[in-house]
Amino acid sequence: MSDLHRLDAGSVAIRSDAEGDGRTIEGYAVKWGELTSLGAAEEFPDAAEGFERGAFADAIAARADRPWPFLATHNGVPVAGIRFDEDDTGLHYVGRMLETQAARDYAATIPAGNDGVSLEFMVRGATSKRRGNAVIHTRVPAIAGLAGTYKPAYMGATIALRSEGDTNMTDTTEATVAERAEAAPAPLGISRDDMVQLVRDTATEVVRGMAERGAFVAGPKPADPFAGYKNLGELMRAAFATRPETTADPSSGATPQRDDLRAYAARALADVVFTSGANAGLASGNLVTTDIKRIVNGGRPAITAFGGPRGLGDTAGLTLEWPYFDGTLSDYVAAQSAEKAEIESATIDIKLDTEALKTYAGGADISYQVLRRGNPSVLDAFGRIMLAAWAAVTDAAFVTELESGSVTVDYTEALASHDLSEFIANLITASLAVQAATGQPADFVLASTTAFAKLANLIIPSTITIAGASSADVRGMRIELANVPIVHVPSITADKLIISNPLAAAWFEDGPFQVSAEDVAHLGRDVAFWSLGAGARFIPAGIVEAYDVTP
């Protein structure tokens, strides 16, 4: 094992500096007084882990003016150079993103939840003390660097790799009366809100399963496939026992046989294993690079265009609600017919609109063998894949909301027949509609793949001779029509354009969150990502779709 200790406990933010280029990266790697979850460190299975102020002072002084590398992921490529300092809050860092494609790719993943950092420091030679059920590091000999991670800072810390080297552990006499008393039960490592949601989800799944098995149907009930089994172990043994001569359908009322039980027992997370040559890229040991290729996170262009994701704030429940007014303004003010004549008066009706929040989730059961022996880290790879998938799915869900009941502009012909002047005319018509509905003209055009390609092929040859074509950047796939950005959104229906501005709609969400649980019976770890989200169409008339209505 290596002496390198990784601690997922910090956060990252990218901000614009004085030059306004958005390449300054800043945050905290650890914060004083914050502890990891119990058992996060292999050396201290019954303890949490934290740091005292001054723990990194020697390491910072020894580094002098040399920056530390900030990696996109553990064992990945550097995307920034940073410097550490200790302040009243914690171990602070600040630096500058490199002008490389890898740095730009990493920065693009931060809005999708890849906004945590993992501190890499040398555990051999560290000085620590025991305080109750916590191990507090008082001196760290060296900092290796910082790496991006998908795990949110407030979800607690996990240790990807620990050392078997010396830690110079000493017990402290600072124990209080409460610490000398019987140890309190270990916390669950999950917030109250997450626990409430977990209970709700579990209850929903139980009710769904009961409904599937006919529990709410009047009359004779089919045989419950779980009847007669005291626990999951008995069910699993029956499900994978020697195949009987006959099988039965649970809905038939006969006793369920092995195939039926196996179908129920298989309702679990997909396994991530080395079996049958799976995950060969993590078992090779002879890789020329540890950067896993073809994991492409395309971001969330539709959500970003409408101002980016918005939080749920202090709201409760699973429904978005917002007020709106749909009266006619001319009903409220009019010219007074004569002095002392009665003025115009009308009541107002502020209405309520709603949209149901949906849960977006996915997970897998990763074997301890893959967790322990896989390289590069399966957790890093799984996190990148899940966040890329989450970004694609939630952006597509928002597009579905945008395409539902929007105002339309008709091409009146096939997209292939449209020329540049017709596109500009459509854009002006749509922008006027957006302005009438929201008070501001259109800020952007979201284009399907086919529509973007058609526009790009019209605009690029015309940028020199047609002022209305504005500009085009093929390298960055950025084009403008009459100075309005055209944004490629792959999930939009083929041949369509959506013209709007951020006042008309928004995507609201809570998450994404990572949750995990040990599957000890099968030597695995269940890892899942989940979030709540929904699109709110505040002003449907300010969302204009342009396409051939009657092809």
Q: Best-predicted range by mean pLDDT among 105-119, 178-192, 471-485, 533-547?
A: 533-547
For residue 324, give the nearest of 295, 348, 308, 300 by alpha carbon: 348
List the structure tokens of 256: 């369920």
**DSSP strand E in 52-184: where?**
68-71, 78-86, 90-97, 116-122, 127-131, 134-139, 143-149, 169-171
CATH 3.30.1930.10 given to domain 408-503+540-547: yes
Q: What is the DSSP letter of 310?
A: B
- Structure confidence at residue 250 (pLDDT): 42
Is residue 264 over pLDDT 70? no
Query: 125 or 187: which carries more pLDDT confidence?
Result: 125
- Structure confidence at residue 177 (pLDDT): 30
Is residue 324 over pLDDT 60? yes
- pLDDT band per the 50, 70, 90 thresholds, residue 40: low
Q: Which of 1-15, 68-82, 347-361 has the least mean pLDDT?
A: 1-15
Q: Residues 265-304, buried b or exposed e (16+ Cβ, 10 A)? A: beeebeebeeeeeebeebeeeeeeebebeeeebebbbbbb
Share above pLDDT 70 across residues of the chain, in percent, rounded to a whole number: 71
**What is the tens place of the pLDDT at every residue in 435-485?**
999 999 999 999 999 999 999 888 877 554 444 445 677 777 788 888 899
Angle at 372 between CA 370 and CA 373, to 5 degrees: 65
Instruction: List, by residue range, all CATH 3.30.1930.10 domains of the chain.
Output: 408-503+540-547
For residue 3, give the nearest of 130, 133, 142, 189 by alpha carbon: 142
Long-range contacts of 204-210 (CB under 8 A, 24+ apart): none
Rounded to two decimals, the pTM is: 0.56
